[in-house]
Amino acid sequence: MRHKMRFTFFFVPVMMLPVSFILAQSVTGRQQKDASMPAVFQEMKKSVVSVQTFVCENNTRQWRIGSGFIYHEDGFVVTRSNVIDRGDSINVSLIDGRNVPAWVIYNDTRTETALLKLAVRGLQSMDLGSSLELDTQSQLASLGNSLGVFPSLSLGMFKGRSDEGFLHLNMSVAPGNCGSPVLDENGKAVGVIIGRALTESSQNSAKSSFSGVGLAIPIEQVQHVIETALKQLSSQKGWIGITVKPLQNCVEGWLVVTGVDPGGPAEEAGIAKGDTLVGFQGSPIQSQATLAESVRKLAPSDEIQFHIKKGMTETRFNVRVQEKAWKAPAGSR
């Protein structure tokens, strides 16, 4: 069903909070008549994550907070692009309380869909459904981070589709919900929250702080993007064997080496844990994400150069790239 409506304002719910902000681990949501919904929530909340992106703006450290879900048990997480855009580092909070570093391995700006990778296996992946089976009687739920509360539950109904193909939801969408999965009555993901659109009536309402029409990308579109990404990643082989994170003093682009793979290219070149990367291929490093993407695109035997600080000494190291193929997860859909 096509659902036409005049929108006067579009809001993308991403929270910006100081680094000292601590996420509360609690469950919220209004009462739902369907008795099966709480049971579905209890099971599928294991596949929902909170995504916190570290950003440095005007020499101020902040977290950008959104939501996401586990696409595959091998540590693949789906979120929306604006949650992780221009971030220096990313942490993902799992339902069991673990905070896991993540890195961007694919970011499709056209559909605003991002794929993250965690160095964790054995996670519970989200079951995927079909948005094509929805009608105006379909009850839906959204799980994610709402106003810093994780996990939180929002309940609503399917209203229709826009001419652009977005799902319209009669559902509260609060800051932090961006990237949350939309679940059908069987607990299967049928879409991903991208924001909300305010109508004139909701703007004039005193109770419309998070009201309006919730907007979501159909899961079929998200799935196509992610499967395409996984196939592309399987042919990218660049690897140098280090893990890094941004410096805490907020020097833009500077990365500290937090780990070096034994026998890897970086170790062989003389790079060690605690070194600071300040340049790559003769230019400043833009961010952790851009460096990782650049290295993955390199071919085995390519030689690259890093500008590195070791204590008070600055020097340059040449590293010869080796092969480490990204494998599409078994059973990818």
Task: Output the pLDDT for position 236.
Answer: 60
Place of tokens 């991403």: 14
Please, how many CA atoms are within 13 Å of residue 15, restricted to the half-sphere of its CB? 23
Task: Output the pLDDT for position 211.
Answer: 55
Q: How far apart are CA 285 and CA 279, in angstroms?
A: 5
Q: pLDDT per residue over 43-73, tens digit each?
A: 889 999 999 998 877 777 788 899 999 999 9
* Distances in whole angstroms, Cα of residue 101 to Cα of each of 2, 98, 104: 40, 10, 10
Task: Output the pLDDT for position 105.
Answer: 84
The reported pTM is 0.69
Quick one: tokens of 97?
Answer: 């309380």
* Distances in whole angstroms, Cα of residue 235 to Cα of each of 6, 117, 298: 44, 16, 11
* Distances in whole angstroms, Cα of residue 23 to Cα of each of 94, 174, 181, 223, 250: 12, 15, 19, 29, 22
Q: pLDDT per residue over 84-127, tens digit each?
A: 987 878 999 999 999 998 888 889 988 889 999 887 889 999 99
Q: How far apart are CA 158 and CA 171, in angstroms?
A: 8
Q: Are 105 and 326 in contact (CB under 8 A)?
A: yes
Kindly give, in sequence order, each residue whose CB lies less than 8 Å from that of residue 233, ignoring residues fewer than 6 positions away.
Answer: 105, 106, 296, 326, 328
Buried b (16+ CB within 10 A) or exposed e, 11-25: ebbbbebeeeeebee
Per the prediction, the chain carries an average pLDDT of 80
Task: Output the pLDDT for position 103.
Answer: 84
Place of tokens 């008795």: 35
Quick one: tokens of 56?
Answer: 């440095």
Q: Render each residue's pLDDT in the chain as its tens digit; 333 residues.
A: 554 444 433 444 455 544 433 333 333 333 343 444 467 778 889 999 999 998 877 777 788 899 999 999 989 999 999 899 878 789 999 999 999 988 888 899 888 899 998 878 899 999 999 999 999 999 999 998 887 778 888 889 999 998 888 999 998 888 888 999 999 999 999 999 998 876 554 445 444 454 568 999 999 999 999 998 888 776 666 889 888 888 776 667 789 998 888 888 999 999 999 999 999 999 999 888 788 888 888 888 899 999 999 988 999 999 999 876 555 555 455
Place of tokens 């990218």: 236
Kindly give, in sequence order, each residue whose CB lies less than 8 Å from that of residue 190, ignoring residues fewer than 6 positions away.
Answer: 129, 130, 131, 134, 140, 167, 182, 183, 184, 218, 219
Q: Are 220 and 227 in contact (CB under 8 A)?
A: no
- The residue type of 13 is P
**Domains of the chain, CATH where assigned:** 9-229 (2.40.10.120), 238-323 (2.30.42.10)
Task: Output the pLDDT for position 196.
Answer: 81
Kindly give, in sequence order, each residue whose CB lies less than 8 Å from that of residue 328, ignoring residues fewer than 6 positions away.
Answer: 230, 231, 233, 234
